[in-house]
């Protein structure tokens, strides 16, 4: 067996904990996808050298307190309101990359209007959504993003379309708006998807630096505690079920060409 491993000297380090992710205590559960997502965001900020040129607007959820780990300027917003607060910051600060971190309760539920309006305006911000299909911070209740059949504390027999309606797909909804230049959905359930998600955020921030307009990156994050699963089962739940209802990949990318969006420099 041992010969199947590469000798250690032939390996190179391709990913590590980002230098802007402070070594703080956090209260994320074992197996949570949000810690991984924070590291991905932090790595992109490091790569693009944005440590001193970015503002994060943090929504309300499990990720709010752990966001203190990000060693960058931050503003907390009320539940659902982050894209509007980010707009106020964007319109008064030309240079920094402005992005929000929200959950699916925050974005798909409380804050649809703020996100849709910001996208329609072509607001030059990036909205990042950690989607685990539940309001995990309050103990696992249904959100508009919960998939059909998903069991939560308020849909104990599973979400069914006749009573609870269908899941809201924000990546596709926002992509349909003219002001959206980039929309993608990644996941934290496998190394490949983590790497792709890294690329999506990097792409979104890059387009924002070109003043191209609104960008959206949704990240499916595991919630073993809220889903009442083991961490390994939670990985499979995303791979086998959640990613069917919320398909992974780039939904829209208008490319690098100078746009005609409001606020674009060209």
Partner 1 sequence: MRRFLEGKTALAEAAIMAGCRFSAGYPIRPVTEIQENLSQLLPASGGVYMPAANEIEAITMVYGAAAGGTPAMVVSSSTGISLMQETISDSATQGIPIVVVNGCRFVLQADYHQSVKGGGHGDYRVIVLAPGSTQELIDLTALAFQLAWKYRHPAFILADTLLLECSESIDLREGIESILTARPPDWAVTGMRTGEKRREAGGKEGTPQPQVLTGNPGCIQRMQQISAAEVRFEEAMTEDADVVLVAFGSVGKYVRLAVRELRRQGIRAGYFRPITLWPFPSEALNELAGRVQALVCVELNQGQMYEDVKAAVEGRCRTLSIAGDGNQDTGFGLIWSKDELVKRVSNFMVNNFQAVGATR
Joined together, the tokens standing for residue 194 give 């983590």
Positions in 115-144 near partner 1 (CB under 8 A) = 117
Closest C-alpha among 98, 155, 101 to residue 131: 101
Contact region for partner 1 (CB under 8 A) — 2-10, 31-39, 94-102, 145-153? 94-102
178 near partner 1, rule: CB under 8 A = no
Contact (Cβ atoms closer than 8 angstroms) between residue 79 and residue 62 = no
173 near partner 1, rule: CB under 8 A = no
Reported as type and span, the H/E element at residue 41 is helix 34-47
Distance from C-alpha of 34 to C-alpha of 46, rounded to nearest angstrom? 18
| Crossing angle (nearest 10°) for helices 191-209 and 34-47 | 40
162: exposed, middle or buried (Cβ count in 10 Å: 0-12, 13-18, 19+)? exposed
For the bound state, the minimum distance from the C-beta of residue 140 to partner 1, rounded and expressed in Å, comes to 20
For the bound state, the minimum distance from the C-beta of residue 232 to partner 1, rounded and expressed in Å, comes to 27
Which residue among 15, 17, 19, 24 contacts partner 1 (CB under 8 A)? 24
13 near partner 1, rule: CB under 8 A = no
Which residue among 19, 47, 88, 262 contacts partner 1 (CB under 8 A)? 88
Interaction mask 48-87, partner 1, x per CB under 8 A:
----xxxx-xx-----xx-xx--xxxxxxxx--x--xxxx
Nearer to partner 1, 114 or 193 (CB): 114
For the bound state, the minimum distance from the C-beta of residue 57 to partner 1, rounded and expressed in Å, comes to 7
Which residue among 5, 6, 14, 27 contacts partner 1 (CB under 8 A)? 27
Contact (Cβ atoms closer than 8 angstroms) between residue 133 and residue 147 = yes
Closest C-alpha among 225, 224, 215, 221 to residue 242: 221
Residues contacting residue 120 through CB under 8 Å, at least 6 positions apart: 177, 178, 179
For the bound state, the minimum distance from the C-beta of residue 186 to partner 1, rounded and expressed in Å, comes to 24
* Kind of pairing between the strands at 180-187 and 134-135: unpaired
Distance from C-alpha of 9 to C-alpha of 184, rounded to nearest angstrom? 37
Nearer to partner 1, 34 or 193 (CB): 34
For the bound state, the minimum distance from the C-beta of residue 28 to partner 1, rounded and expressed in Å, comes to 11
Binding site for partner 1 (CB under 8 A): 24-27, 52-55, 57-58, 64-65, 67-68, 71-78, 81, 84-93, 95-98, 113-114, 117
């Amino acid at each position: 067996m041992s010969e199947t491993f590469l000798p250690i000297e032939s390996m190179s380090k391709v990913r590590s904990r980002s230098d802007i992710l402070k070594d703080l205590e956090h209260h994320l559960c074992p197996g949570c996808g949000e810690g991984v997502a924070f590291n991905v965001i932090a790595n992109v900020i490091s790569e693009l050298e944005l440590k001193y040129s970015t503002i994060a607007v943090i929504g309300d959820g499990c990720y709010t307190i752990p966001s203190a780990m990000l060693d960058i300027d931050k503003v907390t917003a009320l539940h659902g309101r982050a894209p509007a607060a980010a707009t106020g910051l964007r319109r008064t600060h030309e240079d920094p990359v402005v992005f929000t971190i929200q959950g699916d309760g925050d974005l798909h539920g409380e804050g649809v209007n703020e996100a849709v309006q910001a996208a329609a305006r072509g607001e030059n911000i990036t909205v990042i959504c950690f989607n685990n299909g539940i309001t995990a911070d309050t103990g696992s209740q249904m959100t508009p993003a919960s998939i059909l059949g998903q069991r939560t504390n308020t849909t104990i027999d599973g979400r069914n379309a006749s009573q609870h309606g269908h899941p809201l797909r924000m990546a596709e909804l926002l992509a349909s708006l003219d002001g959206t230049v980039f929309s993608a959905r990644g996941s934290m359930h496998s190394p490949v998807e983590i790497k792709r998600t890294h690329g999506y955020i990097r792409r979104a921030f890059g387009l924002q630096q070109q003043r191209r307009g609104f960008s959206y990156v949704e990240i499916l994050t595991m919630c073993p505690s809220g889903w009442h699963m083991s961490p390994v089962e939670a990985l499979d739940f995303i791979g086998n079920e959640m990613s069917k209802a919320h398909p992974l990949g780039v939904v829209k990318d208008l490319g690098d060409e100078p746009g005609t969006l409001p606020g674009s420099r060209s």
